[in-house]
Amino acid sequence: MSFLAERLSSVKPSATLAITQKARVLRAEGVDVMSLSTGEPDFDTPDNIKEAAIAAIRRGETKYTTSAGIPELREAIVHKFERENGLIYKPSQTIVSTGAKHVIFNALLATLGPGDEVLIPSPYWVSYPEMVSLCGGTPVAVPTHKRHAYKLQAEDLDRAITPRTKWIILNSPSNPSGAAYTRDELKALTDVLVRHPHVWILTDDMYEHLVYDDFEFVTPAQIEPLLYDRTLTMNGVSKAYAMTGWRVGYAAGPKVLIDAMDLIQGQQTSGTCSIAQWAAVEALNGPQSHLPQFRKAFKARRDLVIGLLNRTPHLQCGTPEGAFYVYPSCEGAIGKRTPKGKLIATDEDFVTALLEDEAVATVHGSAFGTGPNFRISYATSTQVLEEACGRIYRFCATLR
Predicted pLDDT of residue 374? 98
Give CA separation, 115 vs 105, 121, 132, 363, in Å.
Answer: 17, 19, 11, 31
CA 189 to chain centre: 20
Domains of the chain: 6-44+290-397 (3.90.1150.10), 48-285 (3.40.640.10)
Q: 318 pLDDT exceeds 70?
A: yes
pLDDT of residue 69: 98
If one compares 38 and 115, the residue with the highest pLDDT of the two is 115
Helix (H) or strand (E) holding 73: helix 71-85
Q: How far is CA 154 from CA 114, 116, 193, in A?
A: 27, 21, 9
Residue 30, C-beta contacts closer than 8 angstroms, at least 6 positions apart: none
Q: What is the pLDDT of residues 64-79, one digit of tens each?
A: 999 999 999 999 999 9
**Nearest residue to 14 via CA among 169, 175, 239, 202:** 175
| pLDDT per position as a tens digit, 1-60 | 579 998 888 788 777 777 778 888 888 999 999 999 888 999 999 999 999 999 999 999
Write down the H helix ranges in 167-253: 183-194, 220-223
What mean pLDDT, rounded, does the chain reach?
A: 96
Would the pLDDT of 313 be above 70?
yes
Question: What digits encode the pLDDT tens for the residues 241-300?
Answer: 999 999 999 999 999 999 999 999 999 999 999 999 999 999 999 999 999 999 999 999
